[in-house]
Amino acid sequence: MAIGQTKRSASRTTWTACAVLVVAAAVAPQVVTPAQPAAAADGGCTYSVPTYVWEPATTANIAAKRVLRKYMEWGPKSSDAVLLDTLNTASLPIGSKVFTGGGDGILYEATAGGQVKAYRDNTATGGDLLTPVKTYSLNWSSAKRILTNGQYFLVFASDGTVDIYKQSSPATGDGTLTRVINRTTSSISTAISAADDAWMVNSTVQWLKDGTVQQSTLLPIDVTTSTTVRLWGTTEVATGVDAAQAWAPGPGAVSTQSVTGDPDTTGQVRSYTTGPWTQVDDDVRAGIVGDVMADAGPCLTDPDPSAAPYFGTPPDETGDPVAGDPAGDTIAAPSRTVTGTFTLGNGQPAPGLPVTVTAPDVGIDAPGETKQTVVGTTTTGPDGSWSLTLPETLPGAVQQAKEDNGGVLNLEAVTMGSTTSGTKMLAVDTLSAITDQAAVDTSIAGPDNGHSVKLIPNTVDAASDLKDSFAAGTEAQTYAAKTENSPAVAGGDDPQWQSDTATLPADYDPYDVNGKNVAAEAVRPPTTPMDSGTCDTIRTPISSKIKYTVVGEAHAGWDAKATFEYESSMNTSVETAVKSNGNWTLGGSKEISHSVSISVGYTNKGPYYAKQYRVPIEYVKVKNQHICSGSVRSTWYKIEAKRYKAPAGGALGKVGKDVSGMDGSANFTRSKKEFRNYVEPGGNAQLSKGKSIKFGGAVSFYGVSMGAKTGYDSNHKQKITAGNRPGKHWVWGKNGTISSGRAGVFYSK
């Protein structure tokens, strides 16, 4: 039983002449879990409805599993309705059909093998989502759709015929399923079978077709026995409904889900009341994709406005004192010295290799070939490490590139050589230097260098590869495309290795070259030194494009408002990607700190609001060739960010994917107590120092997915403002408390 459900009466009302469908037989009362507060004085009503999403299959393999995820629709008739993730899931065979209804916490599975299995949802008391109850020898595998109110089951065939079964024990799911109507058909059953979606609540069957919601009533043929029933009458409930599917959390309420081609808006859930049809919340949640069904109860009531939603037992609300603005990370002092380490593929040192450090932002807008500007050269030591101190006076073009980027100088360190078996190897490191204190104070985290980078095979054929091998027709099969087109937010970092034409196999090894693994082979320096007067690195742009990139997010749960601000200048670093052997590898991040003289973001959104925010950034893909005495020695491609740039006629910034799945009581319960703070009624808290987490899948360009992070300061912040309802509004950081400056991002209960 979910929070908000209370004890039912010992029996359900019997049929009357004007009858509404109810159960004639006595039903044992459900026991209320002591930890769950009563929803209302009316013992049969609820304000919290278990809602299940049968998520889409991720493979065509018929032996695979499909995920059933449980949500909680809180206050579905309220203007502050919310669909909270309980974090409870279960897996069932991909060919099964799942359905529920009646408000008793019983779910059913029609298997592809010709059985019907009943389960009880015991998650509210810490049990399993699908606790087996009984298996029936009924073959509903070919049904077009199956609807139930717990007592009656309507099994529709694709031709519009319907079988109706009766469950003798709807509250427990372990009774007898008896067929009371055998393959009847009518205009109503045909319409329901052909509908875009259909659902059942109490005696009412509703269906959605081409934007119109209609309903019919399941009534007894013989009111004295109520064993034989039939659908009677058709009533139009609403027209012009923009939705792909719908469901009823209870009588007098309907929730809908719309599907769009935009992954940031698809799966948009809205809530309505009926009689008359009225929209009460146009943004319950986004990103809900799959077959949605509610365990609809007999009636609905409104939640206590002073009670924060929770599922199961009340969360342990212990943590640190009042949240506030963080002190921020310790920022490194300005320095002209940059460092790094180059290793073999197996992680062992790569000593004695030449390192050339260039300033790639110089001439970044040049349309044709340009010579990379070298700022210094050095050699790796016995442990593979290297160090370079920049000159006190930088070349004019380098100094200008640094000033244009807010005082941050983006650099690129390159080394190359050949293995003992003759395989060319290459390593490219993206780093940055900050030589002025003013730039340190406003940057994400001070100078970004000291990386350890592995040499990888450089097998691109410079003679024949005059253009990149990227095939736009296969991009949809890449990890990047699937991540960008999914309404779900990528969890964790993107894969280091990615293909721009397909998803790489799990056992992909870039060091397998012509049947031999070269990861452990020693690498010798090139015969012509990289810093000789006869060698240059030539940079040629291949393509550029503006892509909206995730730069932050904000969260507001119960009785709160969320704000995300991104003003005046860029303060974001985006990963770079390098390809020298046919596939891409993510490297260091490039920091973008240009002045942009804009203010974008969103303000005071909520309650129950959590969205990412994206800004338009121009990306470029370039071909680099290291040429000595007219001979191409190495070729590699690179993808990197250039600057903020809004497309003509395009948005200055966009709200991105829904991330409210990180909020709520279930996530709060799982959070570290030491990362928790609270905001008092009417108060606010914000992150305006330190740095954000890395947002995986922040941008996809040319079939490659890259992450990004943003520095918090007075112009770049995540903020929450609590309402005036009594009690503490809890927030918790992902990586630390808000006051530590290491939270990265904070979530809201």
- Taking 50 as the threshold, does the pLDDT of residue 599 lie above it? yes
Same structural domain, 294 and 366: no
Same structural domain, 265 and 344: no
Same structural domain, 385 and 279: no
Q: Which of the 8 DSSP states describes residue 694? A: P
Grade residue 26 by pLDDT with cuts at 50, 70 and 90.
very low
| Tokens at 233, concatenated | 């009458």
Same structural domain, 206 and 296: yes
Same structural domain, 378 and 296: no
- Residues 371-395 have pLDDT tens digits of 999 999 999 999 999 999 999 899 9
Return the amino acid letter for 728. Answer: K
* Residue range of the domain that includes 284: 45-300
Confidence (pLDDT) at 228: 79
Provide the H-helix boundaries in 396-515: 396-404, 437-442, 479-485
Same structural domain, 181 and 278: yes
Say how many CA atoms lie within 13 Å of 30 toward its Cβ: 26
Residue 5 lies in a domain: no
Residue scoring higher pLDDT (308 or 325): 308
**Cα 178 to chain center, whole Å?**
43
The total domain count for the chain is: 2
Grade residue 227 by pLDDT with cuts at 50, 70 and 90.
low
Residue 294 lies in a domain: yes
Q: What are phi and psi of 585, to 5 degrees?
A: -125, 135
Same structural domain, 351 and 294: no
Same structural domain, 597 and 671: yes
| Tokens at 113, concatenated | 């093998």
Confidence (pLDDT) at 178: 95
> In the listed set 300, 326, 346, which residue is the last one of a domain according to the structure?
300
Grade residue 315 by pLDDT with cuts at 50, 70 and 90.
confident
Confidence (pLDDT) at 304: 87
Same structural domain, 290 and 388: no
Provide the H-helix boundaries in 130-186: none
CATH number, residue 160: 2.120.10
Same structural domain, 377 and 275: no
Residue 603 lies in a domain: yes
| Tokens at 209, concatenated | 């077709």
Confidence (pLDDT) at 446: 58
Share of the chain above pLDDT 90, in %: 73
- Residues 564-596 have pLDDT tens digits of 999 988 889 999 999 999 899 999 999 998 888
For residue 276, is the peptide bond before it cis, meaning its omega torsion is within 30 degrees of 0?
yes
Residue 157 lies in a domain: yes
Worst-scoring range by mean pLDDT, 49-63, 118-132, 307-321, 649-663? 307-321
Residue 326 lies in a domain: no
- Residues 458-508 have pLDDT tens digits of 987 644 444 566 667 788 899 999 999 999 998 888 999 999 999 999 899
- Taking 90 as the threshold, does the pLDDT of residue 547 lie above it? yes
Same structural domain, 292 and 341: no
Grade residue 323 by pLDDT with cuts at 50, 70 and 90.
confident
Same structural domain, 592 and 545: yes
Residue 325 lies in a domain: no
> Cβ contacts of residue 94 below 8 Å, gap of 6+?
57, 59, 61, 62, 63, 64, 65, 66
Residue 153 lies in a domain: yes
Report DSSP letters for 269-336, one per residue.
Answer: EEEEETTTTEEEEEEEES---SEEEE---SEE-PPPTTSPP--SSPP-----SB------PPPPPP-S
Tell me, yes or no, if the pTM score tops 0.85: yes
Residue pair 622/638 in contact by the 8 Å Cβ criterion: yes
> Cβ contacts of residue 393 below 8 Å, gap of 6+?
none
Residue 99 lies in a domain: yes
> In the listed set 271, 300, 329, which residue is the last one of a domain according to the structure?
300
